């Protein structure tokens, strides 16, 4: 929902996400195994790991769209999937969800209207409604600017590049000024300048708006831009720490090297068990 009116105060002390013994199955396979971690508020947490390790499944669990979830998974102080969370979480999947036959602005206006049906359409303003409709227009304009698509506001989404369409999806997620933004590989297909600009936006959202961001990536250099990292492999959390602490703990210079060191350590720890079989 759009935050046109003042929202009731929310508890800001509990972590944005708290998981304990979180296990998720897809089909007949268990893909997340007894995860335990927290995501602090107002920071950027990177969810990193190789393709297929379970990043999207974890994100789907957090936003409440994943079946077969057991254990504890609390989001903004409520169990994941609780109806009150719908207006407080922005979720961008890997597949952009935009209408090709609408322009960028029309897409945003459409989703803004769905998110806040109480607001009359700009063309049907009645007395007293104008300020609210005007505010919605401003929110849409701001979201388009946030993702650097102002010059494309009147272009059909179907005529945009893949990266631009991804940014329209991100703008839709920003519309409600959510407390938690869950972004599944948001920088895939973007050139270095746009990637940098998007990371600047993420930091701005965390710093000036207090938004919590959970951002997945399998590009390890993006890890350096996060406040905290959850490193995943084969459905398990290898590490839950800051980039600095990870490098120091593993005696490495990059997060990528730290990740490889942790993978080797985990493999070494499992070896005696395997030879005992």
Ligand X SMILES: Nc1ncnc2c1ncn2[C@@H]1O[C@H](COP(=O)(O)OP(=O)(O)OP(=O)(O)O)[C@@H](O)[C@H]1O
Q: Put the strands of the sheet holding 69-75 in their side by side order.
A: 29-39, 17-26, 69-75, 78-79
Closest to ligand X by CB, 2 or 19? 19
State the minimum distance, in angstroms, from the CB of residue 55 to ligand X: 4
Residue 59 beta carbon to ligand X: minimum distance, rounded to whole angstroms? 8
Tokens of 139: 């929110």
Residue 243 C-beta: closest distance to ligand X, Å: 20
Residues in the site for ligand X, rule: CB under 6 A?
A: 26-27, 29, 31, 49, 51-57, 218
**Contact indicator for 47, 57 with CB cutoff of 8 Å:** no
Handedness of CA 196, 197, 199, 204 (dihedral sign): positive
Which one-letter DSSP state was computed for residue 204? H
Residue number with CB closer to ligand X (51 or 126)? 51
Distance CA 134, CA 214 (A): 31
Query: Is the CB of 95 or the CB of 130 nearer to ligand X?
Result: 95
Residue whose entry in the numeric block shows the structure tokens 């059909």:
156
**Distance of closest approach, residue 30 Cβ to ligand X, in angstroms:** 10
* Closest to 210 in 3D by CA, of 40, 30, 92: 40
* CB 53 to ligand X: min, Å: 4
Token pair in block for residue 170 = 């991100």
Closer residue to ligand X in complex, CB, 59/85: 59
Q: Between 23 and 141, name the residue whose CB sits nearer to ligand X.
A: 23
CB 188 to ligand X: min, Å: 9
- Please identify, using beta-carbon distances, which residue of 53 and 75 lies nearer to ligand X: 53
Rounded Cα distance between 178 and 62, Å, is 14
Nearest to 208 by CA among 42, 45, 90, 7: 42
């Amino acid at each position: 929902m759009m935050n046109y009116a003042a929202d009731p105060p929310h508890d800001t002390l509990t972590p944005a996400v708290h998981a304990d013994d979180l296990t998720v199955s897809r089909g007949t396979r268990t893909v997340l195994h007894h995860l335990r971690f927290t995501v602090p508020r107002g920071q950027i947490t990177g969810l990193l790991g190789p393709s297929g390790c379970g990043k999207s499944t974890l994100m789907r669990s957090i936003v409440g769209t994943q079946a077969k979830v057991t254990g504890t998974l609390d989001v903004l102080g409520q169990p994941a999937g609780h109806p009150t969370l719908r207006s407080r979480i922005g979720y961008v999947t890997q597949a952009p969800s935009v209408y090709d036959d609408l322009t960028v602005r029309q897409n945003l206006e459409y989703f803004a209207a769905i998110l806040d049906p109480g607001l009359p359409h700009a063309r049907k303003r009645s007395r007293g409604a104008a300020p609210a409709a005007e505010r919605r227009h401003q929110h849409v304009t701001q979201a388009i600017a946030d993702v650097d698509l102002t010059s494309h506001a009147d272009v059909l989404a179907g005529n945009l590049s893949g990266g631009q369409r991804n940014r329209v999806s991100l703008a839709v997620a920003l519309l409600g000024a959510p407390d938690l933004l869950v972004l599944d590989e948001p920088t895939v297909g973007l050139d270095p300048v746009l990637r940098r600009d998007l990371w600047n936006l993420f930091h701005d959202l965390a710093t000036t708006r207090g938004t919590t961001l959970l951002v997945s990536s399998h590009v390890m250099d993006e890890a350096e831009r996060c406040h905290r990292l959850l490193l995943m492999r084969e459905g398990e959390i290898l590490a839950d720490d800051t980039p600095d602490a990870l490098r120091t703990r593993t005696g490495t210079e990059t997060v990528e090297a730290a990740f490889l060191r942790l993978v080797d350590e985990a493999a070494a720890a499992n070896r005696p068990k395997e030879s005992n079989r």
